Amino acid sequence: MFYDALKNEHGLKHDPFKALVSPRPVGWVSTLSKNGISNLAPYSFFTALAEKPAYVMFSASGSKDTRRNAEETGEFVCSVATYDLRKKMNLTAARLPYDESEFDYAGLTPAASHFVKPPRVAESPAALECRYWKTVELPSATPDAKPHAVIIGLVVGIHIEDAYISEGIVVTDLMRPIARLGYRDYAWIDADNIFTMVSPALQKKT
- The span from the CA of 154 to the CA of 55, in Å, is 5
How many residues are there in the chain? 206
Q: Are 15 and 8 spatial neighbours (Cβ–Cβ below 8 Å)?
A: yes
Q: Does residue 59 belong to the site contacting ligand FMN (CB under 6 A)? A: yes
Segment near ligand FMN (CB under 6 A); pick from 3-11, 41-49, 105-113, 161-169: 41-49
Q: Which of 66, 82, 101, 113 binds ligand FMN (CB under 6 A)?
A: 66
Under the binding rule (CB under 6 A), the answer on residue 39 touching ligand FMN is yes
β partners of residue 188 = 178
Compose the 174-193 pattern: x for residues touching ligand FMN by CB under 6 A, - for all others.
------x-------------
Applying the rule CB under 6 A, the residues between 80 and 139 that interact with ligand FMN are 90, 93, 95
Is 45 near ligand FMN (CB under 6 A)? yes
Distance of CA 189 to the CA centre of its chain: 16
**Rounded CA separation 175/161 (Å):** 10
| Contact residues for 189 (Cβ-Cβ < 8 A; gap 6+) | 172, 173, 175, 176, 177, 179
Size of the site for ligand FMN (CB under 6 A): 17
Q: Which of 53, 45, 54, 39 is nearest to 27 (CA)?
A: 45
Maximum CA extent, the chain: 63
Kindly write down the DSSP assignment for every residue of 91-113, as one continuous string.
HTTS---TTS-HHHHHT--EE--
CB 13 to ligand FMN: min, Å: 20
Residue 61 binds ligand FMN (CB under 6 A): yes
Query: Which is nearer to ligand FMN, 65 or 75 (by Cβ)?
Result: 65
Q: Between 84 and 165, name the residue whose CB sits nearer to ligand FMN.
A: 84
44 binds ligand FMN (CB under 6 A): yes
Residue ranges binding ligand FMN (CB under 6 A) = 26, 39, 41-45, 59-61, 64-66, 90, 93, 95, 180
